[in-house]
């Protein structure tokens, strides 16, 4: 109770500080008060603009999330079942994760299209996090359980489906939670390479045209989109640990 109160007080103080710095102009004209950002954000006439941008970014992020999760899960499973491929897939994932996102943009621009570049960049971010989480999760089943399965005559695939995959679900859920902000970042960066609309476009345009309040609005939208789904995925993670955690 005391913790929750202190936490709420902390957030309130932060917001008040933000407002005060903006009102007093302590950080120059680039730091508007929170109230003017919120006013613009809730302005009726701007709603279509924000709605279009947010929906476009969420759609790209969603596709990237789905593709990245499938690829990460797929490669981790393959590497788990075929140990010969394990070291190579570890390195492939590490290198793909190391390609700077701004360099991925132009590649996908040629490979795919302007519209699908955000989702593609986003999927690479998600792929790595899910791959790492699932790889470590698949090794979480205890040796005793593994031995029991072998003694009872379960083959490799049955052991995977009945033992190792369920044991990896909590790790997968953690990966999914951590992957969401990364997916959003990927989509926003991907949008910088000529996407027709989205939060990333809004951010870049506002930054280049010195529309300070609009810039903060776009950033707040991105933060809200991140936090909302991050919160939901945290609940999913808790459920996975409660049901499948050891």
Partner 1 sequence: MKRPFLLRLVEDYWGILLLLIAWQLWVVVSRFNPIVMPTPVAVLGDLVRHPDIYLRNVGITLAIAVFGLVAGMLVGTGLAIAAWFSPVASGLLNPLTVLFSSVPVVALIPVIARILGYDTSTVLAIVVIITFFPSFVFASSGLRAPPPGSEDLFRVLGASRLSLLWRLALPAAMPNLAVAFKLAAAHAILAAMVAEFLMGTTGLGYLFAKTKSDFQTEQAFGVSIVATVISAAAYLGAGWVERRVRDRYA
Binding-site ranges for partner 1 (CB under 8 A): 2-3, 6-11, 13-14, 27-28, 30-31, 84-85, 87-89, 91-95, 97-103, 106-107, 110, 180-181, 184-185, 188-189, 199, 203-204, 206-207, 212, 215-216, 218-219, 222-223, 226-227, 230
Q: How many CB atoms lie within 10 A of CB 208?
A: 9
Alpha-carbon distances of 90 from 12, 61, 133, 134, rounded to whole Å: 44, 24, 12, 12
Compute the residue count for the chain. Answer: 246
Q: In this complex, which beta carbon is closest to partner 1, that of residue 127 or of residue 244? A: 127
CB of 163 to partner 1, least distance (A): 27
**Of the two residues 69 and 122, which places its CB atom closer to partner 1 in the complex?**
122
The residue (of 137 and 198) whose beta carbon lies closer to partner 1 is: 198
Q: Cβ of residue 189: shortest distance to partner 1, in angstroms?
A: 6
Task: Supply the minimum distance, in Å, between the C-beta of residue 75 and partner 1.
Answer: 9
CB of 172 to partner 1, least distance (A): 18
Q: Token pair 């007080």 is at which residue?
A: 9
Closest CA to 197 of 99, 33, 50, 22: 50
Distances (CA, A) of 202 to 82, 86, 154, 159, 244: 45, 41, 55, 49, 42
Between 133 and 163, whose beta carbon lies closer to partner 1? 133
At which residue do the structure tokens 């003694």 appear? 151
Please choose, from the candidates 119, 120, 121, the residue with its C-alpha nearest in 3D space to the C-alpha of residue 102.
121
Write out the two tokens for 93: 């994932």
| Cβ 77 to partner 1 shortest distance, Å | 15
Q: Which is nearer to partner 1, 39 or 226 (CB)?
A: 226
């Amino acid at each position: 109770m005391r913790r929750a109160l202190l936490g709420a007080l902390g957030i309130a103080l932060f917001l008040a500080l933000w407002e005060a710095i903006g009102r007093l102009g302590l950080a120059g004209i680039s730091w508007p008060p929170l109230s003017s950002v919120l006013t613009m954000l809730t302005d009726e006439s701007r709603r279509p603009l924000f709605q279009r941008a947010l929906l476009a970014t969420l759609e790209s992020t969603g596709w990237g999330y789905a593709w990245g999760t499938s690829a990460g899960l797929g490669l981790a499973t393959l590497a788990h079942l075929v140990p010969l491929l394990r070291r190579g897939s570890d390195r492939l994932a590490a290198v793909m994760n190391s390609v700077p996102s701004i360099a991925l943009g132009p590649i996908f621009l040629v490979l795919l299209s302007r519209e699908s570049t955000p989702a593609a960049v986003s999927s690479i971010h998600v792929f790595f996090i899910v791959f790492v989480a699932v790889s470590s999760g698949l090794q979480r089943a205890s040796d005793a359980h593994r031995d029991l399965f072998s003694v009872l005559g379960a083959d490799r695939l049955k052991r995977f489906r009945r033992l190792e995959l369920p044991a990896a679900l909590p790790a997968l859920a953690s990966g999914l939670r951590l992957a969401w902000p990364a997916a959003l970042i990927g989509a926003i960066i991907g949008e910088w390479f000529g996407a027709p609309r989205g939060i990333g476009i809004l951010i870049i345009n506002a930054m280049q045209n010195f529309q300070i309040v609009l810039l903060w609005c776009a950033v707040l939208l991105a933060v809200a989109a991140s936090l909302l789904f991050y919160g939901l995925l945290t609940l999913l993670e808790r459920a996975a640990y409660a049901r499948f955690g050891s």
